[in-house]
Amino acid sequence: MACFIVPVSEAIVTVIAEKIVKKREDRTEIKECDGKIPFSKKLKVLNKMLWGGSGLLAFEHVWHGEVTPWFPFLTNAANPADLAEMLHEMATVGTTMALLVTAVWGVLMFAIEKIRIRETDGKREEETVA
């Protein structure tokens, strides 16, 4: 129905956050040092994950006729009884999807950081031996 609206909303917020973080990083001249990834680039990955998943889900809803090109755009928004069901789906399914995508992104960023630290430590050991 409209569960894709929740991840889209999160994506809009993270796009704005990415722009703000990017400006701060540029102002303080934070660059990639020792292979460390700036937070703005990490947020960009989250944005792409959210927009991609939301886009596919929105397409699926259009395909099944749940989203229409005329007002009120969402078929369940026309009937007050269906509106409650739609809001419940947004609160349960939409929120779960947004949290799951964010959790996967967090695990991905954690794994990347651990790999970066392991590689950095390995290079330092090689330099010490040489």
Q: Which residues of 39-50 are buried (b: 16+ CB within 10 A; e: fewer)?
A: bbebbbebbebb
Global pTM value: 0.83
SS (H, E, C) 23-45: HHHHHCCCCCCCCCCCHHHHHHH
Nearest to 89 by CA among 101, 77, 103: 77
Q: 76-118: per-residue pLDDT in tens?
A: 777 888 888 888 888 999 999 999 999 999 999 999 999 988 8
More reliable by pLDDT, 128 or 16: 16
In single-letter form, the type of residue at position 1 comes to: M
The residues facing 67 across adjacent strands are 74
* pLDDT value for 32: 60
71 contacts: CB under 8 Å, gap ≥ 6: none
CB 100 within 8 A of CB 49: no
